[in-house]
Every structure is written in C-alpha cells, then in structure tokens.
Amino acid sequence: MKTFARLLGVGALALATLAWMPPAAAQQENMIDTIKSRGKLQVGFASFVPWAMRDKQGQWVGFEIDVSTKLAKDMGVQLELIPTAWDGIIPSLIAKKFDVIIGGMSITPARQEQIDFTAPYSNSGQGVVASTVLASKLKWPDDYNNANITLSCRRGVSGCKTLEEKFPKANLRQFDDDAIAFQEVINGKAHLVISSEPKPTFMMLKNPDKLFKPTPDTVTVSVEGFGLRKGNAVAMTTFNEWIAKNKDWLKQRHTYWFKTQEWAAQVPE
C-alpha cells in the first residue's frame, strides 16, 4: 500500500512538472518581438564587392546594405550593421551576436544543417567572358569544346572543374591569381575565362573592346537567402513575406549593383 501511494506521489509530481513546462512553440525564439522591442535590426555580413563595401567616406554601401536598410525601415526599426569575418559568420549568428545574416550567403545542404534560410532573394554563380579577337565567331557552347580552344581559370576554384566537365576537349590553363587568368584572355592568349559573378561582367564593362559574353547566363547557378538561427518560425514567415512583396525592387537593386558600374565612383579603386 505504501509502495502504491509512493508511486502515486511520484506520478503526481511528474504531472505537475509537465503542467509547468512551456509548450514547444513557446520555447522557440520570437526574434521579431525581440527586434521590435529593441528597436533595432542587427545584421551580420562580410565585406565583398559589390555585396558590401566601404565608400570614399567610409560608409557601408552595396546590394546587401540596400536590402538591410529597406528591411529595417519597413519593420519600423533602426539598422545596426555588424561586419563579421566570413569564416566565423555562422558561429556568430548561432551565438546571437546578431539577428540575421544578410550577406550573399548561398543556400547549401551543409549550411542548412547549421542554420535556416529564407526563400531566395538573389542569385549568383560562375560567369564567363571571352576574347573578342579569338572567340567572336565561336558558337556557344559547342565550339568551345575543341582541342584548339584555350580556357583560363584560377587554380583551385570550382570554375576550373566546371570548365573541365563542360569542355573536356579544350586546353585548360590554370593560374594562381584570378587577375592573371583574366589577363590571358584580355591579351588574346586564351579564348575564355571563368570566375564568380559579377567579376566577369565588371571586367567586360572595363574592357568592352577586348571582352564579350558568349552567353548572358551564368554557367552555374546558386541562390542566396537570409540566414536565421534554427527555430525562428515567426521570423521566417515575416522575412519570406517581405522578400515576396519586394521581388521587383530586389531585382532592380541587384541589376544596379551586379550588372552596371554606375556606382563605381562611390568607392575607392
């Protein structure tokens, strides 16, 4: 009888403990409430041209700065920019050094194991430019897969592997420096060079008589999303709705920063 009573007591204590435990939803971080209560959106990012960079007055400018500024304004809060080394940006987010990563971060399975991503708000990838002298009459992509064609890339980057897979018959030259890989094409010593956009576009704009784009599309495609800590369902919904609502504006700002050099005079050379 005493044993039975003791079991009843233990059971009652367990039930009481469960009754005081908050539901799973309540245990999740409500980041939107935190941001609005603080009156400030804290954004983590790294410095990459033209995603985010210093202008001649030392102020941050770039595509991600435009996105962060408008997001904060639409939320009715101030913006706090927190520049962070790229290799530490995910650990810093998890450690709550800031609310969200808005820094051109591609959505990958490995990163999704650590953090959550919103719907894509921009895209990038590997782009190519070709020599006007050597390649103006070549048809893309078939004529580039030929033993008489020389392709250029920076050693160790994914673009080299892309060229090897796409054009196995071509002669691939790899260089330790990206600038040298481009210079080979500018000098007419190689037919084509590959690199992460927007560098191919910018190099073409700077050398319009020597470089052209054999295709307006990127050879590879990656999409970027806002990076969030796990368990932020409310923030995920809020940011996804904002991205959907501002789709045209995001495309316009992306074109300005990635397809033109209209902003170049703002930043040091």
CATH code of the domain containing 167: 3.40.190.10
Query: Is pLDDT of 5 > 70?
Result: no
- Domain shared by 61 and 175, yes or no: no
- pLDDT per residue as tens digits for the range 13-47: 443 433 343 444 344 568 999 999 999 999 999 99
- Cis status, amide bond into 50, omega within 30 of 0: yes
| pLDDT reported for residue 29 | 67
| pLDDT reported for residue 269 | 82
Please check whether residue 242 lies inside any domain of the structure: yes
Count of domains observed in the chain: 2
- Domain shared by 54 and 115, yes or no: yes
Quote the CA–CA distance of 78 and 39 in Å, as a whole number. Answer: 6
- pLDDT per residue as tens digits for the range 179-210: 999 999 999 999 999 999 999 999 999 999 99
pLDDT > 70: percent of the chain: 89
pLDDT band at residue 222 under the 50/70/90 scheme: very high
Query: Is pLDDT of 4 > 60?
Result: no
| pLDDT reported for residue 28 | 59
Query: Is pLDDT of 218 > 80?
Result: yes
Residue-averaged pLDDT of the chain: 91
Please check whether residue 11 lies inside any domain of the structure: no
CB atoms within 10 A of CB 56: 10
3-state secondary structure of 172: strand
Report CA torsion sign: 201, 207, 209, 210: negative
Last residue of a domain, one of 212, 238, 254: 212
Quote the CA–CA distance of 132 and 106 in Å, as a whole number. Answer: 32
pLDDT band at residue 9 under the 50/70/90 scheme: very low
| pLDDT reported for residue 149 | 98
Distances (CA, A) of 56 to 76, 234, 269: 29, 38, 10
Q: How much is the pTM?
A: 0.82
Query: Is pLDDT of 8 > 80?
Result: no
